[in-house]
Amino acid sequence: MGFTIAIDGPAASGKGTLARKIAERYGFHHLDTGLTYRATAKALLDAGLPLDDETLAAEQADKVDLGALDRSVLAAHEIGEAASKVAVMPAVRRALVEAQRRFAIREPGVVLDGRDIGTVVCPGAELKLYVTASPGVRAGRRFEEIGKSGGNLSYDDVLDDIRRRDARDMGRVDSPLRPADDAHLLDTSEMSIEAAFRAAQILIDEALARKKPS
Ligand SMILES: Nc1ncnc2c1ncn2[C@@H]1O[C@H](COP(=O)(O)OP(=O)(O)OP(=O)(O)O)[C@@H](O)[C@H]1O
Ligand SMILES: Nc1ccn([C@@H]2O[C@H](COP(=O)(O)O)[C@@H](O)[C@H]2O)c(=O)n1
């Protein structure tokens, strides 16, 4: 059986950055599950379909191909907002969680990041991390990232979006964002990317040692 690392947390907390570094260091497969919700929302937008029809949204979710998720296209800020709207729909979540669980059985290990990995997708994960940072810090990071890619949103707009997305993700009925009871909390508000990775590495190495047969 492979080793599963579940990473959850709110928008722009740094969970994706951390998950990619972990996957690279440990030779694990990585799935950014946010991209699956983004791909669903983008398919609806591209087809001129509404974002609030659960049947139509679930049809698109069923067609999401995990091997064809293009981060450079799906990362657009407005797609994140649309993704959080389709993510409240149970039929969409059912379709995507099924695909994510199929991914999670890969050997020698997997890292999945999202909002419900430790609570719903992989409740038996060997290690669960809940990565967070203050809304102001997260907005600053996202604002900088958007600026570098040529976008021109103001810091205040980004902060408003982060707060709105937090409220939607934490307030929904199906699989709300929350730390699993057995998750390790990692507040990166005052941590560099490297410091967050070092903190995660200690926890991963301990969990790997626990899993090794004696
Ligand atoms: N500890 C950190 N210190 C400073 N910047 C960071 C840190 N972690 C991540 N970043 C930067 O913050 C931005 C957001 O990080 P990232 O995309 O990893 O967040 P996320 O939680 O995966 O967001 P989302 O859920 O919206 O995809 C990126 O530009 C990243 O380089
Ligand atoms: N496991 C997940 C992952 C994501 N979502 C929703 O998708 C939105 C976009 O996610 P990003 O991580 O790419 O920003 C996010 O705001 C959530 O609404 C989810 O519900 N569950």
For 117-167, the pLDDT digits (tens) are 999 999 999 999 999 999 999 999 999 999 998 888 999 999 999 999 999
**Beta-strand relationship, 3-8 and 29-32:** unpaired
Q: Is 16 annotated as a binding residue?
A: yes
Place of tokens 């080793």: 3
pTM of the model: 0.97
Measured in Å, residue 150 CA sits from the centre of ligand 1 at 17
Interface predicted TM-score (ipTM) of this complex, two decimals: 0.98
Assess whether the C-beta atom of 187 lies below 6 angstroms from ligand 1: no
Which of 11, 5, 33 is CA-nearest to residue 133? 11
Ligand 1 nearest-atom number relative to CA 80:
26
* pLDDT at site 151: 87
> Is the pLDDT reported for residue 213 higher than 80?
no
Nearest one of 111, 132, 120 to 87, comparing CA atoms? 120
Ligand lying nearest the CA atom of residue 9: 1
- State the average pLDDT over residues 8-20: 98
**Range 3-209 has CATH code 3.20.10.10:** no
Look at residue 212 in the predicted model and tell me its pLDDT.
77
The domain locations on the chain are 3-209
Nearest residue (CA) to ligand 1, atom 25: 11
Q: Is 109 exposed, middle or buried (0-12, 13-18, 19+ CB in 10 A)?
A: buried
Question: Crossing angle for the helix pair 90-103 and 34-46, nearest 10 degrees?
Answer: 130
Token pair of 184, please?
């390790």
